[in-house]
Chains A and B, each alone.
Chain A
Amino acid sequence: MSTAVVTVNRGLFRGLNLRQKTLLIIGSTSLLLLGIVVSSVFLGGEPLQTNFGSKNLAPSLEHPFGTDWMGRDMFVRTLEGLGLSILVGGLASTISTVLTVILGLLSSAGKTADSFVSWLVDLFLSIPHLLLIILISIGLGGGATGVIIAVALTHWPSLTRVVRAEIKQLKTQEYIHISRNLGKSKWWIASKHILPHLVPQILLGTILMFPHAILHEASVTFLGFGLSPHEPAIGIILSESMRYLSAGYWWLAFFPGLSLLIVVLAFDMIGENLGKLMNPKNAHE
């Protein structure tokens, strides 16, 4: 234990213990993401000015991410795009989590239901993910609704698989048998004994789903099957920028791409650090 503390204290955050450091990372990353969403919502109110007098400008103090071929500020566009991406990701993760909980409960109800859930999971996992999103999106008529529903409907299988295995394992525990012998009902046991073990896993799974959902939405949009060109989506920005790369306007793709990467990594970091906090070894410290 003492060696771990020593190495941490030599690092960036002198004087903080591991737990405080983890909380600090989670807090600051969440703040960054929240800041992006809030500012994108505020910016979304006013239409982005096109100013042909200042088109295709390289990054400067006035336009940190440069401007595009219509003179729009790329920093603002990126911010709006990221905000939209995070919202789509959030919606998709929430819906996927709800589906996971429902299917998890279903699989614990009985043998037939469990085989059905397991078959459904295998079916969804056997189709290439991106292809599945595109197919569902097209099937739903495309557009924003299509891609959001498609992303939401395809991210539950891996989490469901984890939750199902966890429920199975929990049901063999002696304290569950004891609870039944003490006269407790199935639903009482599910909510008091099983659910508390699943909540951290599900929470973590939801957060780790975010970056997946965001990247999938962006790639489907980039490929032209997703959000419409009128939306300020990162995928749209990136695919448009490709046409200008050969003209030497590198900043059009570079900054939005880098920002997307940072957002995705930020979610991963939150998930990873939350996972550390929930580790059973130090859960009650």
Chain B
Amino acid sequence: MHLKGENVSFGYKRNNLILKDVNISLGSGEVLGLIGDSGSGKSTLCKILAGYENKYQGKVTLDEKEIPPKGYNPVQLVFQHPEKAVNPKWRMNDILNEGHFVSQDILEAFGIKNNWLNRWPNELSGGELQRFALARALSPKTRFLIADEITTMVDSITQAQIWNIVLDIVEELNIGVLVVSHDRNLINRLCNDTVYLKDINNT
């Protein structure tokens, strides 16, 4: 299976493009790195690939077909700030199982403790919340994971732990991953291949 972005151009304002003719292709089971300076449009590209932003030019396809706007999206996006990715009025248990019923195996793999499930989001740390966000996104129906700076806000030990778990799970489920970061070392450690996003407004 292939997720492709072809000739993607986008600007938040008219006459001010952030992305210009960007091409990117990601295969099942592949772990691809995306590097770029801050403000170069990495997050913007992620949103386009995952269908959050749809006023772009160009094509985003899954096996040459457009991704339907309704129903479960096989392309799941996880963000840098997990506290924004959870409804503060929901308990963790409901947050976790919003998309699919997360198996006990996955919970154990992520080190999610059962007594965390009854808590509110503001009673967990960023690293703990990020584990929930990832477990929620990694359903059996997910084919691609877009990981936009998902470990930028946590310490290096937690970072290593989280990536070990994610890589295990995506390998087992044959999910393709786009690892977005400004940290070259991290990308070199995790990815088979890397693409560089040039900042078209700053060169």
Contact = CB atoms under 8 A, between A and B. Distances in A.
B122 A284 contact: yes
Contacts of B75: 181
A197 B90 CA distance: 10
Interface stretch (B8-16, B77-85, B151-159, B188-196): B77-85
B76 A175 contact: no
Chain A's interface: helix, strand, loop or mixed, by majority?
Answer: helix
A196 B70 CA distance: 23
Contacts, number: 44
B70 A183 contact: yes
Contact of A173 (B51, B70, B84): B84
Chain B's interface: helix, strand, loop or mixed, by majority?
Answer: loop
- Interface extent on A, as a size class? 10 to 19
A196 B84 contact: no
A181 B98 contact: no
A280 B88 contact: yes
A281 to B, nearest CB: 9
A181 B84 CA distance: 15
B99 A182 contact: yes
A174 B83 CA distance: 10
B86 interface: yes
Nearest to A170: B87
Interface string B11-27: 00000000000000000
Contact of A175 (B50, B71, B73, B86): B86
A175 B86 CA distance: 5
B116 interface: no
B50 A181 contact: yes
